[in-house]
Structure 1
Amino acid sequence: KTMNKPASEEAFLLRLPDDVADEVRRAIRAGEQLDLDLLFGPEPKDAHAARPATFCVGGTELPATLSSLPTVVEVQKSLDNYTFFKSNVNGTGTVRQVIDVAHNLDDLPSKAEQPDGLTPPMNNIRHLKWRKRVPRDPRMVEQVELELEALVKGVPPPVLTELIDEEEEVTDDEEDEPMPPLDADGATDGGHTDISCPPALAGRLPGNSAACSSAACSSAAHESPGACGLVGATVESGGTRIKLFPQQPAGKVAPAQPRPSIQTHVTPPDPRAAAAAAARVEAEARAREDAEAREREEAAARERAEAE
């Protein structure tokens, strides 16, 4: 308490050895005067190290350390052990620090922040709270939500549906005949060039007459090449031999090309396999984090040893 700052209430958690704790409890219940004192040492050079202190009880000095809790603890008071009310400690009613007392200095925590909380669920909470999260697949999350909704409604869970597009290869029944080798002028033997052409385009080629070599054609010549339009007909015009493509007779429709087939494969989900995979990923991530934490601790220990 000073002239500019009024007295304030400070609360902290005090952990004592079993024999000392029993003596303090007995004295409090009996209403006896107990000589308690707490002396803090200098601030450590390492910011991550706990602050040393000395706890005096009944003339006995015990080593102690001051460290921070990984969680925020709410403080409540009671005057009759029946009715509790919230304490206005530091204006917030919370406790953030703990003082550990032991008979041996080696039994005290050495870090400025403890890894565990006060209750069993808070065991190793510092590591669990700030661990690296494993990325989740949005599709897997959506599937799990659908399965949970199905379980709540009492209906079978939905299944995963996958569409596979299988393209069928379409091969021609007739292969094009190889063209004869061309000479230096770009023509075949006899000064003719073989061209495969549909009958509709054959009439546009130069030449006023053409000889038809089709056995089914009774005309020896036509006014325009390919006028008969018979299957397998070969016409000759202007030094060019033209082989006609097969043509469908009138009244018949050409068969349609086969379309790519779409097959649906229904794969039921396996929750156990998904849970096992997630557990493996979680274990690997935790092992990596533990290894990194050990490396950091070893590096800090080496730095402290060098400083000493």
Structure 2
Amino acid sequence: MAEGAGGGAGEELFVLRVADEALADKLHRVLREEATVHGHVELTFQDNNLDGVLSVEGVSYPVKLLNLPTVVEAYKTYDEINMVKINDIGQVLLVGPPGSSLPDGPEAADGVTPPMRNARQRHFKPVPKVDPGEVAAVERDLLALLSGFAPAGMRITDVEEEFVVDAHSGAGSWQRVGAGGAAPAGGGGGGAGGGGGGGRGKKDKDKEDK
């Protein structure tokens, strides 16, 4: 039992995973009231609250508290028809055979069901190791950009562009305004006038021949 935020008592649930087959079978029979435990069952933890010992009938089994890769929902039924959610489970108590060594914690590699085997490595990417100095530098640059200033060692240049469509191919592209090589808007009219002047010169020459 654990004290809730409002001062009331609340349940704290764990998944009990027993690697010792003989102990697992005995606990199953005890829960089904098909067997009894001679003596007492005691679970104690060290100061780190992660490593412990489960004592059953005078035999000590190592225990490790691990964090599950995902949260597991726990349900209860009173009539075997309707299910009521009672809590979320995020940790597993791993019980090993006597004298065995358990995996290092606090993160469990596997989930509860077979599809979640080695789920932490397959589904969750490790947190990238980034230099805190680089993170602080990027934050300063972002704040400078949001404030309208250029980051250190950089310069902001305003470039005005317009979308120009080629008259022959029909293809369009963004071009910088005022860039060299672009004909002025009135250039085409001057060319047409020049062509007209050439036509008038041809007519005057025909009159002189007559």
TM-score, normalised to structure 1, is 0.35
Larger radius of gyration: 1
